Amino acid sequence: MPHSPVVIGVDSSTQSTKALFADAVTGRTLAVGRSPHRVDGTDGARESDPEQWWGALREAVAAGLKESGAPASAVRGIAVAGQQHGLVVLGRDRRPLRPALLWNDTRSAAQAAALTAELGGPEVWTARTGSVPVAAMTAAKWRWLRENDPSAAERCAAVRLPHDFLTERLTGAAVTDPGDASGTGWYSTATGAYDPEILQLIGLDAELLPAVAPTGGARAGTLSSQAATALGLPATVAVAAGTGDNMSAAVGLGLGGAGLADHPVLSLGTSGTVFAATRTRPENPVLNGFASADGHYLPLACTLNCTLAVDRIAGLLGLGRDDAEPGGEAVLLPYLDGERTPDLPSASGLLTGLRHATTPRQLLGAAYEGAVFTVLRALDEVLSACGLDPGSPTTAARPLRLIGGGAQGRTWVETVRRLSGRPLVLPTGTELVAVGAAALAASAVTGDDPVTLARRWGAGLGRELPPVERDLGAWERIGSVLDRAFPG
């Protein structure tokens, strides 16, 4: 009996690769293969060897294929969603010349500031690219590389984002998509193309860059013979252009061109991320005015310090993740890696408001509150970019979709409820980046719209939690500390 067609959605994140095998028609998850990554670096450096991503992809696909019980011949398509912003430099043989600089490598903060000034300031960058350079942006990392590792820059024959690197390994084709490209700093969301003036400013030849497909679901090609052999899959498997992880999560949630800003998204992971889909091109210097994987826009704000930072505080206190209670008078801003939103790359963690009665559990609760406050304040900017008034009762009543690893944690969920005062939706699908990539893969096979496919699959649906009374006291206390400690 023939097996139903299968697609593979690959989530290549900072810490691991996941390969989700899904029924191409129903979206039912058949299996998820996993393989970890290693991240190296101290004092702001965060690097990984791109070859391990390829090895992890092979291992995750092999594990998923075995678990799914599907024959290799049933696989029809594959797509990669990768961590954004990372800088991969390749030699003439298309092998990495050095470890990749990851999104959370903050050594390029000075280069980001210099680039902002050289082009004319934040407003000029926002008008052209949708985003102002920060340390995370690939353009700043390329400038850093030229200044600190000029040998690698001079020998570079190709520049790729993490997902581009893996797509090229799968197909041999150098291709990216508008969503992930819009996080580089050298792609213009105003023109839908690479910006030649910015490329000249940073000293990057456009010939080193991949072609930009119309959407992340566009067909980049099929598996090369080498990739097919390495993965144990037919060479006829279609490969989509793929996209960045945040864009893929939006697809997995069924957020797309209809401008569904009535369901903004908060992702709790290593970073804290808020975004919403819209047809309106955002121009807000506080935000990343990204393109989406389906050809529209995805205004987004990202904080560096979220679950990993709070786990570190829990470890220092000798507490479990849920051994927390509201912080009381204590305020803890867990900016252990500097911060991206607000743009404070040199910041460190800040604790104030201690009393004799302050307990370890309150300190941990204060760390949760500090992380959640930072990302919820960024959410207000995202809503404004979508034409919504964050302070209006109508906007406040809109459900907030909570995703990421933190969405599985009781204390994270309750802290978001308390500080936001919003109703929450906890989607049933837990691997939304991989689900979105699977929808992109299915699109490359059928030509159907990936967002429509994902909505049909229903991964964005889930348990609804009613609002609770907003803790305005904690909100105002934390905001006051943040504004005094880091004015402007």
- DSSP assignment string, 83-147: -SS-BEEE-TTS-BSSPEEPTT--TTHHHHHHHHHHHT-HHHHHHHHSB---TTSHHHHHHHHHH
- pLDDT (average), residues 463-478: 96
pLDDT score at 364: 98
The CATH number covering residue 148 comes to 3.30.420.40
Q: Is 266 helix (H, G, I), strand (E, B) or coil?
A: strand
401 domain residue, yes or no: yes
Q: Is 245 a residue of the active site? A: yes
Which residue, of 186, 211, 246, is where some domain finishes? 246
Global model pTM greater than 0.85:
yes
132, 336, 360 from 340: Cα distances, Å: 11, 11, 27
Q: Cα separation of 390 and 398, whole Å? A: 10
What is the predicted pLDDT for the residue at 226?
97
Range of the domain at 468: 254-422+458-488
In the predicted model, what is the mean pLDDT of residues 35-48?
Answer: 92
Whether residue 386 has pLDDT greater than 90? no
Residues 309 and 192 in one domain: no
Residue 208 is given by DSSP the state: G
Provide the percentage of residues in the chain whose pLDDT is more than 70: 98
Residue 434 within any structural domain of the chain: no
Residues 114 and 237 in one domain: yes
Please state the rounded mean pLDDT for residues 380-398: 83
Residue found under tokens 């097919």 = 228
Residue 316 falls inside a structural domain: yes
For residues 238 and 289, membership in a common domain is answered with no
User: Are 239 and 266 found together in one domain?
Assistant: no
Q: Which long-range contacts (CB under 8 A, 24 or more apart) does 261-264 make?
A: 261/383, 261/386, 261/387, 261/388, 262/398, 262/399, 263/398, 263/399, 263/400, 263/401, 263/425, 263/460, 264/379, 264/382, 264/383, 264/386, 264/398, 264/400, 264/401
Is there a domain that residue 429 lies in?
A: no
The three-state secondary structure class of 399 is coil
Do 482 and 395 share a structural domain? Answer: yes
pLDDT at residue number 259: 42
Which residue in the list 245, 337, 343, 471 is annotated as catalytic?
245
What are the tens digits of pLDDT across the range 63-92? 999 999 999 999 999 999 999 999 999 999
Q: Could you say which of 246, 262, 279 is where a domain stops? A: 246
Retrieve residue 46's tokens: 């965060």
Could you give the number of structural domains in the chain?
Answer: 2
More confident residue, 89 or 429: 89
Average pLDDT over residues 30-44: 93
Give the C-alpha separation, 116 to 119, whole Å.
Answer: 6
Spatial contact of 480 and 113, defined as CB atoms under 8 Å apart: no
The domain boundary, picked from 246, 264, 290, lies at 246
Residues 147 and 266 in one domain: no
| pLDDT confidence tier of residue 488, bands split at 50, 70 and 90 | low
C-beta neighbour count of 209 within 10 angstroms:
21
* Rounded average pLDDT over 406-433: 94
Q: Average the pLDDT over 341-368 and give the result.
A: 94
**From CA 468, how far away is CA 221, in angstroms rounded?**
49
Beta-strand (E) ranges in 313-391?
Answer: 331-333, 350-352
Task: Tell me whether residue 437 is in a domain.
Answer: no
On the question of pLDDT at 125 being above 90, the answer is: yes
Residues 242 and 279 in one domain: no
Q: Looking at the chain, how many residues does it have?
A: 488
Residue 277: inside a domain? yes
Q: Flag whether pLDDT at 288 surpasses 50.
A: yes
Which residue is it, tokens 């402007």?
488
In this structure, the answer to whether residues 129 and 264 fall within a common structural domain is no
**pLDDT tens, 257-287?**
544 455 789 999 888 999 998 888 888 888 9
Same-domain check for residues 289 and 193: no
Specify the pLDDT at position 2: 66
Residues 360 and 226 in one domain: no
155: confidence class by pLDDT, cuts 50, 70, 90: very high
Specify the pLDDT at position 212: 97
Residue 444 lies in a domain: no
173 and 291 fall within a common domain: no
Q: CA-CA distances (angstroms) from residue 173 to 91, 183, 215, 249?
A: 15, 20, 15, 24
Phi, psi for residue 184 in degrees, rounded to 5: -85, -35
Question: Is 453 inside any structural domain?
Answer: no
Structure confidence at residue 262 (pLDDT): 54
Same domain, yes or no, for 239 and 269? no
